[in-house]
């Protein structure tokens, strides 16, 4: 059992902290948001993540929460930094939280500690952390900096942490390597030891590659649409080629969330600073934005303009199994409907509270799938929540003013929808 502290209780920090306790370590989670820490102390999970609260309760004897960063650092041998690393408008990563935390750590450490960066950080941040700690720590205190990027996805965070494809660890000393090896020994996954810089680039490369796969298939979808082909068939056959792989080939209205948009921009910036123009990624970003606008145009076209139209929207979160609406396509799409004079009704199984913060009283928040459809000119689907697949389509048809469904996530079979009497439009088929 290791004594670990995790600084930052956002998605990555909290899920990592709870999972590190689950594999047997004693973990102190630190955050400067007192309200959040008070909630966590009462075993209330502040984010929507299936299974996380249960796991917190299961491990409560090994899991502590505090706002006192000094005390947490002093009591721990390994310190994970999992604070936010937002990307500014110009693509530059804002490292102020990482830098502040590094300084705070430096000022209190009195013996050897391993400082691990868990958040996604641009290459060379590890070296920056090292410089800050060396500058502010007491003379003679030894430490190691490690880069251990996290690959967990919202909605499947626990499984991704406990059963990962691999664990990437960028280290500079055998001592730190040994400690990291023992932290993760209960997890059965290959440990990939690299330099700190490689680990940092691995994380950005993975997210950039996956985002590229999505923009690629969305472009293929647009070509399919114009040529009477079906992108689902194309993606299936492509994905069976082991060199390509079946994941992240789902065409739709593009990617959102707290990672892909931010990391793609940050990686373009990293490349630029290295004297390289990452045009390919710029295009990935552009295609992703365009996909939302194409969808808006399709809706406009199929319902003959937005003026005085009533639009039912199913799904608001950037993907299913999360209440997260950061960079969700639904924000641009609904805003555009409203700006063009349409009335909008929405339903989402968990993201309504977050939607209220964005749209306030400009839209109607329906209580279920059927309430949202009532009296609308069209029903549009923006997130593929499991419960939407099971909706009673006959009932929906009766409730809609016109039987039009425009599906941004391809959840239904076009032939079946046609048989049911819908005018059904989806992506790339």
Q: Which residues bind ligand UDX (CB under 6 A)?
A: 150-154, 207, 210, 214, 248-250, 252, 255-257, 259-260, 318-319
Residue 417 Cβ, how far from ligand UDX at the closest point, in Å? 21
Distance in angstroms (rounded) separating the CA atoms of residues 162 and 83: 21
CA angle 54, 55, 61 (to 5 degrees): 110
By beta-carbon proximity to ligand UDX, the closer residue of 144 and 150 is 150
By beta-carbon proximity to ligand UDX, the closer residue of 171 and 214 is 214
Nearest to 266 by CA among 110, 86, 406, 112: 86
Residue 209, marked binder: no
Is residue 51 within 8 A of residue 45, CB to CB? The reply is: no
Distance in angstroms (rounded) separating the CA atoms of residues 332 and 313: 13
Distance in angstroms (rounded) separating the CA atoms of residues 225 and 252: 12
Cβ neighbourhood burial of 423 (10 Å; 0-12, 13-18, 19+) = middle
Cβ neighbourhood burial of 350 (10 Å; 0-12, 13-18, 19+) = middle
Residue 326, marked binder: yes
Tokens 């700006």 belong to: 339
Other Cβ atoms closer than 10 A to 393: 18
By beta-carbon proximity to ligand UDX, the closer residue of 64 and 318 is 318
By beta-carbon proximity to ligand UDX, the closer residue of 113 and 250 is 250
Residue 252, marked binder: yes
Residue 360, marked binder: no
Residue 306 Cβ, how far from ligand UDX at the closest point, in Å? 24
Distance in angstroms (rounded) separating the CA atoms of residues 341 and 363: 12
Distance in angstroms (rounded) separating the CA atoms of residues 76 and 80: 10
Q: Which residue is nearest to ligand UDX (CB)?
A: 259
Residue 249 Cβ, how far from ligand UDX at the closest point, in Å? 6
Residue 170 Cβ, how far from ligand UDX at the closest point, in Å? 16
By beta-carbon proximity to ligand UDX, the closer residue of 76 and 258 is 258
Residue 153 Cβ, how far from ligand UDX at the closest point, in Å? 4
Q: Catalytic: 29?
A: no
Residue 202 Cβ, how far from ligand UDX at the closest point, in Å? 11
Residue 212, marked binder: no
Q: What is the DSSP letter of 140?
A: T
CA 305 from chain centre, in angstroms, equals 33
By beta-carbon proximity to ligand UDX, the closer residue of 106 and 152 is 152
Residue 319, marked binder: yes
Residue 178, marked binder: no
Nearest to 264 by CA among 218, 209, 199: 209
Residue 426 Cβ, how far from ligand UDX at the closest point, in Å? 13
Residue 152, marked binder: yes
By beta-carbon proximity to ligand UDX, the closer residue of 14 and 72 is 14
Of residues 137, 224, 259, 376, which has the active-site annotation? 259
Is residue 129 within 8 A of residue 198, CB to CB? The reply is: no
Distance in angstroms (rounded) separating the CA atoms of residues 384 and 121: 30
Nearest to 309 by CA among 412, 397, 363, 378: 378
Identify the three-state secondary structure at position 127. helix
Tokens 């959040």 belong to: 36
Beta bridge partners of 115: 79, 145
Residue 85, marked binder: yes
- Catalytically active residues are 259
Which residues are annotated as part of the binding site for substrate?
Answer: 151-154, 203, 248-252, 256, 319
């Amino acid at each position: 059992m290791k004594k670990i502290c995790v600084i930052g209780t956002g998605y990555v920090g909290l899920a990592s902290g709870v999972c590190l306790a689950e594999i047997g370590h004693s973990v102190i989670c630190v955050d400067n948001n007192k309200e959040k820490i008070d909630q966590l102390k009462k075993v209330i999970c502040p984010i929507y993540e299936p299974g996380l609260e249960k796991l917190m309760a299961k491990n409560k004897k090994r899991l502590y929460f505090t706002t006192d960063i000094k005390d947490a650092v002093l009591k721990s041998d390994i310190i994970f930094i999992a604070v936010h690393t937002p990307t500014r408008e110009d693509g530059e990563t804002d490292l102020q939280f990482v830098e502040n935390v590094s300084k705070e750590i430096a000022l209190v450490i009195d013996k050897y500690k391993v400082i691990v960066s868990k958040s996604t950080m641009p290459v060379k941040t590890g070296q920056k952390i090292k410089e800050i700690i060396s500058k502010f720590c007491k003379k003679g205190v030894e430490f190691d900096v490690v880069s251990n990027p996290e690959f967990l996805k919202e909605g499947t965070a626990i499984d991704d942490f406990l059963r990962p494809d691999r664990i990437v660890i960028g280290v500079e000393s055998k001592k730190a390597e040994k400690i990291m090896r023992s932290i993760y020994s209960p997890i059965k996954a290959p440990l990939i030891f690299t330099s700190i810089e490689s680990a940092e680039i691995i994380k950005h490369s993975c997210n950039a590659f996956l985002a590229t796969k999505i923009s690629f298939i969305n472009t293929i979808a647009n070509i399919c649409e114009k040529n009477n082909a079906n992108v689902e068939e194309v993606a299936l056959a492509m994905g069976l080629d082991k060199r390509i792989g079946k994941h992240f080939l789902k065409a739709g209205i593009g990617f959102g969330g707290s990672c892909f948009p931010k990391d793609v921009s940050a990686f373009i910036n990293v490349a630029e600073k290295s004297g390289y123009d990452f045009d390919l990624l710029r295009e990935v970003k552009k295609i992703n934005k365009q996909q939302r606008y194409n969808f808006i145009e399709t809706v406009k076209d199929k319902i003959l303009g937005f003026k005085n139209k009533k639009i039912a929207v199913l799904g608001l979160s950037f993907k299913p199994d999360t209440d997260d609406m950061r960079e969700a396509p639904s924000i641009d799409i609904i805003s555009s409907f409203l700006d063009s004079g349409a009335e909008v009704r929405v339903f989402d199984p968990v993201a309504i509270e977050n939607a209220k913060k964005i749209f306030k009283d400009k839209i109607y928040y329906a209580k279920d799938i059927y309430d949202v459809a009532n009296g609308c000119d069209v029903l549009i689907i923006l997130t593929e929540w499991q419960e939407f697949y099971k909706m009673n389509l006959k009932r929906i048809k009766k409730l809609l003013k016109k039987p039009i469904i425009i599906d941004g996530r391809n959840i239904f079979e076009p032939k079946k929808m046609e048989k049911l009497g819908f005018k059904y439009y989806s992506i790339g088929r």
